[in-house]
A and B are shown apart, each in its own frame.
Chain A
């Protein structure tokens, strides 16, 4: 039981490049979330999904897209990376009716 895993752990991008961050969970959770953490800013919700095939915007969705084609996977895409997207990205999951979210180890992204 791996819990929540994230791929890759670290990535360097040039401005304008695209990439996809992968989140996978093996806990059969319906709800999944993508957050970013910046120094002094706490965790801010980017997008979330309450089930396969559904996604919704969070607090800071601009510049990101997401897809939930399978229940266990939640993908975060950057179509054209910008230096402002340099951050640590965390994925989390939970079950409906449960407030406790389980987090992955994070992906550190540097956009030059």
Chain B
């Protein structure tokens, strides 16, 4: 059973508008959440993260929101740029782990000029 779910395989937005990528999780032991960005033929690169003690973390155009009661997090990109077109993976880490991450299946974002 998937512990980290990204229910939208793809998302298309216009340049300059907001992109919202969603992620749901089922395991209440997760206490740290990350977003990775992946371009074709490259490895995933870390984008932004949030600890379970926070409900928001912002880094430039990227903001991650965490709703623990709903077991839901989202990544907001404002404004979206064509260079943001990539696959975005949500990942979660349990409290007691050896750095292991559980990944969602990813959402492919296309930002159209």
Contacts and interface: CB of A to CB of B under 8 A. Distances in A.
A99 B49 contact: yes
A102 interface: yes
Interface in B94-113: 98-101, 103-106
6 contacts: A31-B98, A42-B6, A42-B104, A48-B99, A50-B99, A98-B99
Contacts of A40: 9, 105
Contacts of B103: 35, 42-44
B111 to A, nearest CB: 21
Most buried by B among A4, A41, A100: A100
Interface string B60-76: 00000000000000000
A96 interface: yes
Given A100-B49, A106-B42, A106-B43, A42 B89 contact: yes
Interface of B: 6, 9, 32, 34, 36, 41-46, 49, 89, 93, 98-101, 103-106
A8 to B, nearest CB: 14
User: Which applies to chain A's interface (DSSP): helix, strand, loop or mixed?
Assistant: strand
Nearest to A49: B98
A105 B103 CA distance: 17
Interface of A: 4, 31, 33, 35, 40-45, 48, 50, 56, 58, 90, 92, 94, 96, 98-106
Contacts of A43: 44, 89, 103
Most buried by A among B6, B93, B101, B104: B101
B44 A103 contact: yes
B46 A100 contact: yes
A90 B43 contact: yes
Contacts of B41: 105-106
Contacts of A44: 103
Contact of B32 (A31, A58, A99): A99
Contacts of B101: 45, 99, 101
B9 A102 contact: no
Most buried by A among B6, B32, B43, B101: B43
